[in-house]
Structures are given as C-alpha cells and as structure tokens.
Amino acid sequence: MNEFKIINNYFKTLTNNSVGARKLEDDTATVKIPPNCELVVSKDMMIENVHFLKKDGGYKIATKLLASNLSDIAASGATPLYYMLGFSKNKHTNQNFIKNFTLGLKDVQKKYGIYLIGGDTVKSDKALVFSVTIFGYVKKNKILLRDKAAIDDLILVTGNIGDAYLGLKLLTAKNTKEFKCDKDDKNYLLKRHHFPDPKIDFAKSLIKNNLSSSAIDISDGLIADLNHICQASKLKAAIYQDKIPLSKAAKKFLSNNRQINFTDLISGGDDYELIFTAKAKNLAKIMTLAKKLKISVNCIGNCQKSDKTKPGNLMVELYDEKGKPIQISKYGYQH
Ligand code: ADP
Ligand code: MG
C-alpha cells in the first residue's frame, strides 16, 4: 500500500474530523490551547527489537507507543490534546498490520480524549521505527518538573513496579519452561507490558490540589528515573525495599524463579507509573485522592541532603527492612 492510501484509508479516521488536522491533506496542522496555559510537547521513538517485537503485532505496538507518550504528559501533570505520528513501513508491513496499528491508536486515543493531527510516513529497508509527538497543556507555572524535589520530601509511586519487565521476560523466554508462571499471572504480566496505564488524571489532580511539584514517569526503571529527579534537584533519595509495591503476580514470580531478583524489577523499566515527591503534610490528602481515582500510591522513601550530586553518580540509596544498604549494580535501561 502506498503512503497516500495508508494515510487516507486508515490514519484519517484518527483525526476525529478535527479542523486543525485539515484531513491530513495540508502541509501543516494548526493547534490551539486554552488561555493562560503553556503548550507541553513530548516525543518518543520506538525501534523494532529494542522497544517492540514484530510478533507483538500492530495493535500492541501502537497501544504501547501512544500510551508511553501519554505517560510523559502525565509526568508533567498536563492534559493531553493531540499527537503526530511518524510511521515507517517495510516489505513485511501488510494491510492487516496497518489496520491493527490504527485500531490500537484508536482505542488509546478514545480512552484519553486525544486525536491525530499529522505526521510523516517513510519506507525502511530493515527495522521499523515509529514515533509519536504528543501535545498537551498545563496552567502557566504549574507544570511538574524533575528539579522541584526538596529535602525531606516524601517519595511516592503509583501502581506496582516490575510487572512490565516480567511481561517482557515472558515474551522473550527461550521456551515455555524457562519460567514457572501460571496462566492467569502470565496474562496479567503481559497485559502490563503491552498496555501501560498512564496516570494522567491523578497527576492533574496533584497539581490542582497543590500536592506535588516534582514528578517523572518510569520508563527506564524505578532507580534510573528516580535518579533523574535526584540529579536535577541536587539531593539524594533513600528508599526502602519492603515499601516498593509489587503485584501478587510479581511476588509469586520472584519466589518461583530465583534467576530473577528484586533489583531486576526496579531497574527493568517500562512501568509507566509515576514517581513524585510531596511534603509529608500532604500525604493524607494524596492517599484520599488516590482512593477516589481508584489507583494505589505508596510512599517508598524520602529526599535527603547530599553533597555528592555529580552527573553520573547514583544518588539513590536502597535499604532492606533492617536498614542495611542493598548494592545496586545495574540501575536502568540505557539506550
Ligand atoms: P510533505 O511531503 O509535504 O512533508 P507528506 O506527504 O509527508 O507531506 O504529508 C502529507 C500530509 O499527510 C500531511 O498533512 C501530514 O501531516 C500527513 N501525514 C503523513 N504521514 C502521516 C502519518 N503517519 N500520520 C498522520 N498524518 C500523516
Ligand atoms: Mg512530510
């Protein structure tokens, strides 16, 4: 299928007939945001065999692509509006793939109230690359930033950590016997890998209620991403192993498969949960908010003074339940 057929037959259905998208037929799109707000923009790229596997199929590749971009919007506390799509095809790209890819985008955009306004389509000789540039808005000066954590702030995370990493382990297992994991758990862990659940509404409410000013989403791993907050805010984080939330399925997986350990989960990445910091006096309000939005939030540690912030230094200290430091050797995915 040529570029124009793909755009016209499939991608056009994703514009929701919005005027700014101009039917994907003009040189540019036009965008608007509400008054007294700043435009928030983020881009993510996904490459075959690094971020997705061809066998994932168009639907799952697309849902992960768009949802992981939405996760950056969540980390800023912004409201997503629309996105642009970078699409590549190669000789293996058939109509079925494009159809399912479009369906995946459609389902995610429906859930978050966003639409497509443009993009680019190219032909590749080898690996496929997809990208999304997403646009949103946030009230002026209200954006959540990595450099706004303060000493004594609590460190909190949404959801559970490590499920997506275990999903990837199951996906890339050499054979069905490599890991011991029952069917329900396997389905759950795979779902967590393919269908991230960006915490947009929760992050927006944090801003609205003045409960936090610093956040990041977990894409490279809990430790690596928390370290970004530490580096930017020039402080260190002390976190506690027994406070880090794991799902029932992940706990079971660890006890049944000794070749994977706890530190793998917190350096695995792809969680697309939020790490954010908050004053202790706001904790009760945060928990009430989480309950209202039916998500779980856990306090995993706090921010402390440090004179060792230097680019490249790991500023995250992990402790066991007895207060003994746990060595962190690998702390996140690096591209
Ligand atoms: P040009 O060659 O001038 O850059 P293109 O042929 O790349 O124009 O794009 C023509 C139109 O199709 C533009 O409006 C562009 O936004 C849209 N478009 C191209 N590829 C995509 C895509 N993958 N998703 C959405 N819109 C696309
Ligand atoms: Mg172009």
Q: Write out pLDDT tens, residues 6-46.
A: 999 999 999 999 999 999 999 999 999 999 999 999 999 99
The C-alpha atoms of residue 82 and residue 112 are separated, in whole angstroms, by 10
Residue nearest to atom 27 of ligand 1 (CA): 119
Using the atom order of ligand 1, give the atom closest to the CA of residue 22. Answer: 14
The C-alpha atoms of residue 301 and residue 77 are separated, in whole angstroms, by 22
The C-alpha atoms of residue 278 and residue 213 are separated, in whole angstroms, by 7
- Residues 6 or more apart whose CB falls under 8 angstroms from that of 22 comprise 28, 29, 30
Residue nearest to atom 18 of ligand 1 (CA): 119
Residue nearest to atom 24 of ligand 1 (CA): 119
For 244, other C-beta atoms within 10 Å of its C-beta total 19
Q: Helices (DSSP H) in 78-124: which residue ranges? A: 95-112
Do the Cβ atoms of 149 and 305 come closer than 8 Å? no
Using the atom order of ligand 1, give the atom closest to the CA of residue 26. Answer: 14
Ligand 2 centroid from CA 270, angstroms? 30
Cα 149 versus chain centre, distance: 20
The C-alpha atoms of residue 10 and residue 130 are separated, in whole angstroms, by 16
pLDDT per position as a tens digit, 79-136: 999 999 999 999 999 999 999 999 999 999 999 999 999 999 999 998 999 999 999 9
Ligand 2 centroid from CA 257, angstroms? 48
How many alpha carbons fall within 13 Å on the CB side of residue 154? 18
Find the ligand nearest to 119 CA.
1
Distance spanning both ends of the chain, measured CA to CA: 32
pTM: 0.92
Ligand 2 centroid from CA 272, angstroms? 30
Q: Which residue shows structure tokens 């350096």?
A: 267
